[in-house]
């Protein structure tokens, strides 16, 4: 209670917190200061990709911290170079990378790349970027304006101009004009309700944009780093974007963001930068995360985990049709579309009371983003807690 009072007195009230004090974790399990056990289907909103208390990741972080944590990008950073190489090789795309600290920063970098691409001879020629309604691209001013949710724009204007919002993938081509430089999409909208885009529609769009010399930016902040079963959702959709943004699961909990682009020489020294981005600690952590997840994928464990989790989630939708319209998502990015906002709110709160952490998303969706290393036992225990919670929901 003392910590709660201190938090309320000294920390800005930007989050509607549940006041629980977690003190330790092991993979998909968390334990609070009272000793209560929780199953974590949130992984810190898709961040703790290799689970809580992962010893291999902790060893890599501790080893690096004892040597060098940070020196700045004025000098060569070994693990940063190795991480860039690893991501390029694993993705199969011929690209270079810029490292930042978050998804919003990565998206800001992508927007700057597009805007520079659209400039000819020092004069602004093309600058408009089309995004989708229900999208979410970050909380910084420009990333917030790129977000196609009007309610999020309240209070914070004036914004940078040049953003256009499409109702759907199909509408995008008709919105392109001679000032359009890029299209920015999430292949699965996370905050927008765990809503996957149609694969054929995305492939058709990618071809159309290539013909019209309009850049395709894919925001993979939430879908990247094996969340869908592949390194990138772009691999799963079998497209080749011009720019890809990453963050969340890449560092396993250590803040890191990245922009990948085929426009290898778009920036000159001084065009962009980050004091902390790509430092020794974050890139060494990311290399350890990729080691762990590559082994999971190569051994077939990731595919088996996705199969077990998706079957359990689909079974819940069938068992509780009075609460949910359908089950949605791809890989370990899944959700249950509740029949009302009230049902969604009740499910999240009652699950918490039962010792299960789940997330809120748009379209009244109860969202699941478990650690990619979650075990079948943890999946079973988590869905058992969810069933107990659902039996207490009042309609």
What is the per-residue pLDDT across 175-208, written as a single tens digit (0 to 9) for each? 999 999 999 999 999 999 999 999 999 999 999 9
Q: Is-contact 356 390, C-beta < 8 A?
A: no
Residue 121 confidence (pLDDT)? 78
pLDDT at 124: 79
Instruction: State the pLDDT at residue 1.
Output: 63
- Which residues, 6+ apart, have CB-to-CB distance to 76 below 8 Å? none
CATH of domain 2-53+300-390: 3.90.1150.10
What is the spatial distance between Cα 84 and Cα 86, in angstroms, rounded to a whole number? Answer: 5
pLDDT at position 251:
98
The 10 Å CB-count burial string (b at 16+, else e) for 200-224 is eebeebbeebeeeebbbbbbbbbbb
Which pLDDT tens digit goes with each residue over 242-300?
A: 999 999 999 999 999 999 999 999 999 999 999 999 999 999 999 999 999 999 999 99
- Crossing angle for the helix pair 376-390 and 341-354, to the nearest 10 degrees: 120
Q: What is the pTM of this model?
A: 0.96
Burial pattern 301-338, b for ≥16 Cβ within 10 A else e, equals: ebeebbebbbebbeebbeebeebbeebbbbbbbbbbbb
Query: Among residues 285, 240, 299, which one has the least CA distance to residue 86?
Result: 285
Number of other residues whose CB lies within 10 A of the CB of residue 179: 13
pLDDT of residue 365: 98
Partner residues linked to 320 by β-bridges: none
Topology of domain 68-297, CATH: 3.40.640
* pLDDT at site 387: 98
pLDDT of residue 164: 98
Residues of the chain with pLDDT under 50: none
Compute the Cα dihedral for 370, 375, 381, 387 and give only its sign: positive
Q: Parse the chain into domains and list their residue ranges.
A: 2-53+300-390, 68-297
Q: Which residue has the tokens 């000159």?
A: 268
Show Cβ contacts of residue 158 under 8 Å, excluding neighbours closer than 6 positions. none
Specify the pLDDT at position 10.
96
Contacts 24+ apart (CB under 8 A), 301-304: 302/226, 302/229, 302/372, 303/229, 304/376
Cα 245 versus chain centre, distance: 9
Report the pLDDT value the prediction gives residue 253, as an integer from 0 to 100: 98
């Amino acid at each position: 209670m003392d910590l709660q009072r201190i938090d309320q007195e000294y920390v800005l009230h930007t989050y509607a917190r549940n006041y629980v004090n977690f003190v330790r974790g092991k993979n998909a399990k968390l334990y609070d200061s009272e000793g209560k056990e929780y199953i974590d289907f949130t992984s810190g909103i898709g961040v703790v990709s290799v689970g809580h208390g992962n010893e291999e990741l902790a060893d890599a972080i501790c080893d690096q911290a004892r040597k060098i944590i940070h020196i700045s990008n004025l000098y060569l950073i070994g693990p940063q170079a190795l991480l860039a190489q690893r991501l390029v090789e694993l993705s199969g795309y011929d690209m270079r990378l810029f490292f930042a600290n978050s998804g919003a920063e990565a998206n800001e970098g992508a927007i700057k790349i597009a805007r520079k691409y659209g400039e000819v001879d020092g004069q602004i020629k093309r600058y408009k970027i089309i995004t989708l309604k229900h999208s979410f691209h970050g909380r910084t001013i420009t990333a917030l304006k790129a977000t196609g949710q009007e309610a999020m724009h309240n209070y914070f204007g004036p914004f940078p101009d040049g953003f256009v919002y499409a109702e759907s993938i199909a509408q995008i081509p008709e919105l392109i004009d001679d000032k359009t430089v890029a299209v920015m999409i999430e292949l699965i909208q996370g905050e927008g309700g765990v809503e996957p885009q149609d694969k054929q529609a995305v492939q058709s769009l990618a071809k159309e944009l290539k013909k019209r010399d309009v850049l395709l930016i894919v925001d993979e902040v939430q879908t990247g780093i094996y969340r869908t079963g592949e390194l990138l959702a772009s691999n799963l959709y079998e497209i080749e974007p011009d720019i890809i943004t990453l963050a969340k699961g890449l560092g396993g909990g250590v803040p890191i963001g990245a922009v990948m682009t085929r426009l290898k020489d778009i920036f000159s020294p001084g065009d962009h930068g980050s004091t902390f981005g790509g430092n020794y600690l974050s890139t060494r952590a990311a290399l350890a995360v990729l080691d762990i997840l590559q082994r999971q994928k190569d051994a077939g464990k990731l595919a088996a985990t996705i199969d077990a989790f998706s079957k359990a989630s689909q079974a819940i939708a069938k068992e509780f049709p009075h609460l949910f319209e359908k089950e949605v998502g791809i890989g370990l990015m899944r959700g249950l579309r509740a029949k009302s906002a009230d049902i969604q709110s009740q499910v999240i709160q009652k699950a918490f009371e039962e010792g299960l952490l789940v997330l809120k998303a748009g379209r009244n969706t109860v969202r699941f983003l478990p650690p990619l290393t979650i075990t079948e036992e943890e999946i079973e225990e988590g869905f058992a807690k969810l069933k107990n919670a659902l039996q207490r929901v009042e309609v």
